[in-house]
A and B are shown apart, each in its own frame.
Chain A
Amino acid sequence: MKILVCITHVPDTTSKIQFTDNNTKFDKNGVQFIIGPYDDYALARAVELKEQLGGSLTVLNVGEVDTEPTLRKALAIGADDAIRINAHPKDSLFVANQIAQIAKSNGYDLILMGRESIDFNGGMVHGMVGELLGMPSFSPVMKLEVDGDTVKMAREIEGGKEQVEAKLPLIAGCQEPIAEWKIPNMRGIMSARTKPLQVVEPSNDEVATSVSTFQLPPAKGAVKLIDKDNVDELVKLLKNEAKVL
C-alpha cells in the first residue's frame, strides 16, 4: 500500500489574522504555523492504515523552505519520507498540478488530504487532483477502511452521511472523526530528523486566480446584555431591532 498525504502549512487556528504591505500580504509576525487540522486527520488515518497494511507513507507540501518544520512534524507523526515542492502555493490549481505531477510518477494507491485548508477554505485541491489524474475523488470523508482493493468510506452529506464503496486508487478529502490526531513522541521526533525530505522544483506555473488585496470584516459592536429575568425583552429586540424573527 503506497499512500501519499498532502498537507497544508497554515496559521494556528487561534491566530489573529492581519495583513501587511497595503493589505497584499499575510502578516506572519507572531503567528505559529501548523499542519492544517483537516490534513492532520488525513495523516493520522494514513499512519493507522500503514500500521495495519504495511507499505509506505509519503507526505507532501507545496511551500517554501519555512514549511519544512511542518513536514518534519508529519515525519515525526509517522510518515516515512517527505516531498516539498519548492514554491509559494499560488492558488488551488497550481497546488493540484504539483501534486498530480508527483503522483503520476510514483503510482500511489491512496492520496489523502484535508477536505479544505483553513486559510483559503476552498476545498478544491482533492477534486482537481482527481480530475487531473483521472482518478475518483471523495470528500468530505469521515471514515475510511481498506479491504484489498476495496475502500469503504462514510462521506458527510448535508444532514447526515452516506456509505460509499470504491476501488483503489482514489483520492479522499478527509475530516473528523476519521482518526484521532496523533501527537509525535520523542522517538518519532528524533527519527524525523534523519528521514528523507526531498525538495522538488515546481513543474507547472499555471494559475487560475490571484489575490489582489485582503480585507478584514468591520469591527463587531459591543454585545447588548439583557437581564435574565426579562427574556421577553430579548425576543422583542430580535423581532423589532435585529429583525431576525
Chain B
Amino acid sequence: MSILVYLEHADGAVKKTSLEAVSYGKALADKLGAGDVIALGLGSIAEAELAKAGTAGASKVLHVSDERLTAGIIQAHATAVAEVYKSIGASTLVLAKSSLGDAVAARLAVKLDASLVSNVVELPDTSAGYQVKRSIYTGKAFAVTEVTKEHKILAVKKNAVDLKTDGAAAAVEIISVNLSDADFAGKITATDKAEGDILLPEADIVVSGGRGLKGPENWGMIESLAKELGAATGCSKPVSDIGWRPHHEHVGQTGVKVAPTLYVAVGISGAIQHLAGVNSSKCIVVINKDPEAPFFKAADYGIVGDAFEVLPKLTEAVKALK
C-alpha cells in the first residue's frame, strides 16, 4: 500500500504547500510503514519542478501532462486523481489544504469511499484506532478526529509540518488517464492573476495594512516593506470593502486565511474576524498608534506608533540587515 500526494502548481511551479504535503506523506509512510510515497502532478508542469517532490520525500512522481488539466477543473482533477489512486493501490491520499484542494478532495472522498480530514496539523496517532488532529474554529481550537474508513484523505494545513528538501531526486513518469467530456463541465474562460510574484496564501511573510494607512495612495509604504522582506501584501476587510485594495488581498475569516512565519499588521486594530484569519501565524508583529488596539493582545511583538513614522524606519532597518 502506498501514499499518493496530489501536487498543485501555480503557472507550472509546484506550490510549497504541496511539497509540505509530500514531506507529510513521507513522515506518515515512515511512521506507519505505509510503503512508497508517490506524487502526482496534473497538466503542464516542468519536469524539474515535479522532481522537487523527490527532494521533499517522494520516491516517484507521476505526471498526467494533459494540457486540459493545467487549469484546476475540479471534476477533471478528481477523476484523474481517483484513477491514479486506484491504479497504484494507494491507501491514503495526502494534499495541501487550499481552495482547489478542498474542492477536489471532497469529490474524491465520495469517489474513493474515503474518510476526509481537512486542516490536519499533526501525524496521525495510531496507538488506538487512527486519530488525526485538525484545526477547527478558524484556528481557535483543535479536534482529535477518529477516521473510520479504510481509505484516508488528509488535507494538511500550511506550515503544520516541516518541509524537507534533503531527499533524493525522483524519476518522473508520464502517464495518462481516462477523462470524459463530463469531467470538463465547467469551462474556464479567463484567468485574472494578481500582480506580484508571491501568492498571499502561500507567503512565508505577509505585511498587511488597515485603515490606519489613511488611503490607497499610502500603500507604497506597505509594498516597500514587503519588498524588503520578500513578503506578500494583505489588508483588513474594511480596506477591501471601501476599495482601497482588491478583495483577494483581504486577510480574515471571510477572506484569505494565512499561516505565515511572520505576519506584520500595520494600522489594523485587530477585529476578531481579522484575527481569525491570521492566528495560525508563527510570529505576529503589530504596529498601531492606539495602545489599546486589541491586536496587541494577539501579537508577539508590538510598536505603539504612527505607521507613517514607523514604517519607513522599519523598511530601512530590514534593508540594513541584508
Q: Which of B15, B149, B261 contacts A244 (CB 8 A)?
A: B261
Stretch of A185-193, A195-203, A235-243 contacting B (4+ beta carbons < 8 Å): A235-243
Q: Known: A161-B248, A228-B304, A244-B283. Contact between A211 and B321, CB under 8 A?
A: no
Cβ-Cβ contact count across A and B, 8 Å cutoff: 269
Interface size of B in residues (CB-CB distance below 8 Å) = 92
Residue ID in chain A nearest B97 by CB atoms: A123
Enumerate chain A interface residues (CB-CB to B < 8 A): 11, 13-14, 17, 19, 37-38, 41, 92-93, 96, 115-116, 118-128, 130-132, 136-140, 142, 152, 156-167, 170, 173, 175-177, 207-217, 220-221, 223-228, 231-232, 234-235, 237-239, 242, 244-245
Are A37 and B105 CB-contacts (below 8 A) given A120-B136, A120-B143, A121-B118? no
Question: Which residues from B are CB-within-8-Å of A167?
Answer: 185
CB contact list, B195-233 vs A, under 8 A: 196, 199-202, 205, 229
**Do residues A165 and B187 form an inter-chain contact, with CB atoms below 8 A?**
yes
Closest chain B residue to A176, Cβ basis: B254
B301 interface neighbour in A125, A209, A217, A223, Cβ under 8 Å:
A223
B23-31, B109-117, B160-168, B169-177 - the one binding chain A: B109-117
B242 to chain A, nearest CB (A): 12
B100 at the interface (CB under 8 A from A): yes
Whole-angstrom distance between the Cβ of A211 and the nearest chain B Cβ: 5
Q: Find B115's partner among A170, A208, A235 (CB 8 Å cutoff).
A: A208
- Determine the chain A residues whose CB is within 8 A of the CB of B114 once the complex forms: 208
Q: In the complex, are the beta carbons of A212 and B146 less than 8 A apart? A: yes
**Cβ B75 vs Cβ A234 within 8 A:** no
CA distance A224 to B298 in the complex (A): 11
Interface residues of B (CB under 8 A from A): 10, 15, 71-72, 74-75, 78, 98-100, 102-107, 109-111, 114-119, 131, 133, 135-149, 185-194, 196, 199-202, 205, 229, 247-248, 253-255, 261-262, 272-273, 276, 282-283, 285-286, 296-306, 309-310, 313-314, 317-318, 320-321
Closest to B276 in A: A13
Contacts of B306 in A (CB 8 A): 228
Q: In the complex the two chains form, what is the Cα distance from A66 to B111 in whole Å?
A: 33
When A37-B253, A132-B110, A207-B148 are in contact, do A159 and B303 touch as well, CB less than 8 Å?
no
Q: B10 and A122: CB pair below 8 A?
A: no
| List of A residues within 8 angstroms of B301 by Cβ | 223-226, 234, 237-238, 242
Q: A147 vs B191: C-alpha distance in the bound complex, in angstroms? A: 21
If A232-B317, A235-B321 touch, whether A162 touches B262 (CB-CB below 8 Å) is no
Q: How far is B107's CA from A124's CA once the two chains are assembled, in angstroms?
A: 8
Sample of 12 more A-B contacts, CB < 8 Å, known A126-B103, A161-B248, A244-B282: A124-B118, A128-B110, A138-B74, A162-B188, A211-B143, A212-B131, A215-B142, A223-B286, A224-B300, A231-B303, A231-B310, A234-B303
> With the chains together, A92 CA to B148 CA distance in Å?
13
* Known A-B contacts A17-B140, A131-B107, A160-B192; A166 and B185 likewise in contact (beta carbons under 8 Å): yes
4 closest pairs, A vs B, by CB?
A: A127-B106, A228-B305, A123-B102, A131-B110
* A227 nearest in chain B by CB position: B303
19 contacts between A and B (CB under 8 A): A11-B137, A38-B254, A96-B110, A118-B138, A124-B109, A127-B104, A136-B75, A139-B74, A158-B15, A158-B201, A159-B201, A208-B147, A209-B117, A220-B298, A223-B302, A225-B304, A226-B301, A232-B317, A238-B262
CA distance A152 to B254 in the complex (A): 22
> Which residue of chain A has its CB nearest to the CB of B109?
A128
Q: Known contacts A159-B10, A161-B248, A217-B141: does B74 contact A137 (CB below 8 Å)?
A: yes
Asked if A123 and B146 make an inter-chain contact with CB atoms under 8 angstroms apart, the answer reads: no
Complex Cα gap A213–B237 (Å): 33
Cβ–Cβ < 8 Å partners of A211 in chain B: 143-146
For A128, list chain B residues within 8 Å (CB).
106-107, 109-110
Q: What chain B residues lie within 8 Å of A228 (beta carbons)?
A: 303-306, 309-310
Q: Is the CB of B253 within 8 A of A13?
A: yes
Cβ-neighbour of B262 out of A41, A124, A164, A244 (below 8 A) = A244
Whole-angstrom distance from the CB of A150 to the nearest CB of chain B?
10
Contact of B248 among A17, A132, A160, A223 (CB under 8 A): A160
Chain B nearest CB from A113 CB (Å) reads 12
Task: Give the complex CA separation of A17 and B105 in angstroms.
Answer: 27
Nearest CB in chain A to that of B187: its residue: A165
| A13 neighbours in B (Cβ, 8 Å) | 253, 272-273, 276
Tell me, in angstroms, the Cα distance from A37 to B273 when the chains sit together.
Answer: 11
> Given A37-B253, A234-B285, do A208 and B186 touch, yes or no (CB 8 Å)?
no
Q: How far is the CA of A152 from the CA of B286 in the complex (A)?
A: 40
Task: Check B145 against A212 for contact (C-beta < 8 Å).
Answer: yes
The smallest C-beta distance from A182 to any residue of chain B, in angstroms, reads: 16
Closest Cβ of chain B to A230, distance in Å, is 9
**Smallest beta-carbon distance B297→chain A, Å:** 7
The interface residues of chain A lying within 8 Å CB-to-CB of B261 are 244
Known: A165-B187, A208-B116. A14 touches B304 (CB 8 A): no
Q: Looking across the interface, which residue of chain A has its beta carbon closest to that of B298?
A: A220
CA distance A41 to B72 in the complex (A): 24
A208–B149 CB distance below 8 A: yes
- Shortest C-beta distance, A57 to chain B (Å), equals 22
